[in-house]
Amino acid sequence: SVQPQSGAIWDDNGHEVIGHFLSFAGIVVDAESTQDTNVKIALAYNTPQNLNKIELLVLPKKKLATTRDIIELSGYNINITQANALSVVQYLQDLQNHFQERTIIMKSLSRFGWYNDKLMPYEQETEGVVFDSTVAQPVADKLLAKKGEREESFKLLKEIAQYSESTATMLGAAIGSLILSYINEGGNQSFALNVWNETATGKSLTSQAIASFFGYPFKDGWWADGNATLNKDIYHNALMGNLPTFIDDPVRNRGMDSNQKRDYVFSATSGQGRGRMTRSGEIPRNVREWCNIMIMTNETVFIDDSIEDGGARSRCLEIQFQKPLDRKTINRWVEIMSNHYGHFAVEFANIIRSYEKHTLREILKKNVDWFGNRGADGKRANNAAIIATSLIIISDAMGLEALEVQEWLAKQIRGGSPLSDGQRGYIKLMEQIESRVGVFRQIVDRDGVYIGSFGYAASGAKVLNLPYTTIKKFAKEGGYNQDSMLVYGYNHHHMVARFNEAGQPLGIPVKNSQESMNVIQVFYDWQGRQSNSDVDYRTLKVVDEEGDYIE
């Protein structure tokens, strides 16, 4: 029997089974599984601290099979101990048997996004869908959070669409995540949009403002974690399913090098988690899948030109965040999104659903051709078209009067043609040089070992003298082939060329009052002092074959 005030359960002998309400609510099956291999049980309960609120807990059926397993429910504030565990197991089993003919069958999803053309979790009630209470439901609660007035939030939506090409493109990418997945028939691939510029320009704030249209906007809500592991990101993308993923500054938070960034893009946009296969050929667990757009903010471009990208550049569009937000704009956006959020997800879905899928594909195809004719290659053209198409569709339907971003976006992403190994190496070398101007003015390291120095070629052109040891160190650090880089530099007149009779490149002989060596002379228009005053005597000058200075 159920006690009227507390909801406590008593057995037929007048003994208390549990001190608050707990009941079998139904069977939960995987909404997307063709086999009943993952059946779960739904329990309804209240807690001693809140007797008037009924919670729903979904958990594997095996958790109710033994006293040892059922005690774990105490972690959900359900009062089960070693003393009453057996009674609770028997009680719940009796309920299942009693309601066997009238058992409610519910469907569970382990991801958000489109399901039967309804957008989850926003329209879950129309499909009778529930989410796992331990992982998915807390995130769903953040997505379903709604506060304030639609009209106030709409002002922010319209301002973002009009503020700059960068903010409008970010909005288009967020909506594009829904369109990309809505028309997906298995061939569409997730991709990333990296929005980069120096710190304190407003990149992250814009992301939060756009997130506010989908639910609770801040990073402690449904964002990916900037300092998480790659596996956590894969899991999070799989959970978001078709909704956009926002992640702030993963490069700085995780200390990624060039190759790690490339590998990260492949994994985070792959659309499929790692599978595991047994020797018998069976896959013992489900492989998570997703199809969405990941919006990242970073201080630099994500895919470096200095590495072999293997196609990663096609999966990661790079745009520079332009027109930094001023203080007045920041304060206004923060005030709006803090008090008015969560009003537009279903409205976005309704606009998308108003189009036939084949119509959306035709519009997209025309925009793919448009970007292709302006220098964007295949996947980059397709991904840019998704963003531009989405922005146009939402703007027209809602009267946003969004900026036309196509021309700007085409220029931002155009530089995606493959680079040779040597060209990548040279670009990376110049980045390394730019970051060490002060080091080269000091000429030597703290141990007195020569690093490199500014100087002049025999022709009088300004150069940077680099010994082979520094070149080798830079190549290892930057992940490029030093020989390919040198060949490219000589062939394209980026370095002073000197060859032997066999056509092999030779170093340029230089010396000062203390030492002589052969160096690579990289043409570099250095400015200011050639060296710091305390090391002037170590400045190197070009010499001829006899070792005499060339004046």
Closest CA to 270 of 324, 230, 307, 301: 230
Q: Exposed, middle or buried: residue 128 (CB in 10 Å: 0-12, 13-18, 19+)? A: exposed
Instruction: Check if the beta carbon of residue 138 is closer than 8 Å to that of residue 333.
Output: no
> Whole-angstrom Cα distance, residue 444 to residue 525?
20
Angstrom CA distances, 151 to 157, 168, 336, 342, 344, stand at: 10, 19, 11, 12, 11
Tell me, what amino acid is at 424?
Answer: R
Cα-Cα-Cα-Cα torsion 86, 88, 89, 90, nearest 10 degrees, comes to 90
- According to the model, what pLDDT value does residue 60 have? 82
> Whole-angstrom Cα distance, residue 142 to residue 131?
13
**Helix pair 482-491, 421-434: axis angle to 10 deg:** 90
Encode burial over 256-277: b for 16+ CB neighbours within 10 A, e otherwise. Answer: bebeebbebbebbbbbebeeee
- According to the model, what pLDDT value does residue 114 have? 95
Full pLDDT tens readout for the chain, 551 residues: 787 777 888 888 888 889 889 998 888 888 877 665 667 888 889 887 787 888 888 888 888 888 888 998 888 889 899 999 999 999 998 888 888 778 878 888 889 999 999 999 999 988 888 887 778 889 999 999 999 999 999 999 999 999 999 999 999 999 999 999 999 876 568 999 999 988 889 999 999 999 999 999 998 889 988 778 888 888 899 999 999 999 998 888 777 877 888 888 888 887 665 444 444 444 444 556 889 999 999 988 888 765 566 677 788 999 999 999 999 999 999 999 999 999 999 999 999 999 999 999 999 999 998 988 777 777 889 999 999 999 999 999 999 999 999 999 988 885 544 556 677 788 889 989 988 888 899 888 888 888 999 999 988 999 999 999 999 999 988 888 888 888 888 888 899 988 777 667 788 999 888 888 999 999 999 998 888 877 778 788 887 666 667 76
> Whole-angstrom Cα distance, residue 174 to residue 348?
10
> What are the residues whose beta carbons fall under 8 Å from the beta carbon of 356, sequence distance 6 or more?
none
Radius of gyration of the chain (CA): 31
Instruction: Check if the beta carbon of residue 131 is closer than 8 Å to that of residue 241.
Output: no
User: Which domains are delineated in the chain?
Assistant: 9-109 (no CATH), 143-274+288-413 (3.40.50), 421-542 (no CATH)
3-state secondary structure of 443: coil
Instruction: Check if the beta carbon of residue 108 is closer than 8 Å to that of residue 28.
Output: yes
- According to the model, what pLDDT value does residue 52 have? 81
Which 3-state string (H, E, C) describes 281-299?
CCCCCCCCECCCEEEEEEC
- According to the model, what pLDDT value does residue 275 have? 45
Positive or negative torsion for Cα 384, 385, 388, 394: negative
> Whole-angstrom Cα distance, residue 162 to residue 167?
8
> Whole-angstrom Cα distance, residue 456 to residue 465?
9
Tell me, what amino acid is at 456?
Answer: Y
Closest CA to 176 of 191, 161, 165: 191
> Whole-angstrom Cα distance, residue 12 to residue 100?
21
Tokens, residue 474: 């830079």
> What are the residues whose beta carbons fall under 8 Å from the beta carbon of 265, sequence distance 6 or more?
192, 302, 303, 312, 315, 316
DSSP string across 241-297 = TTS-EEEE-HHHHHT--HHHHHHHHHHHTSSBPPP---TTS---SPPPB---EEEEE
> What are the residues whose beta carbons fall under 8 Å from the beta carbon of 20, sequence distance 6 or more?
6, 7, 8, 45, 46, 47, 48, 51, 78, 79
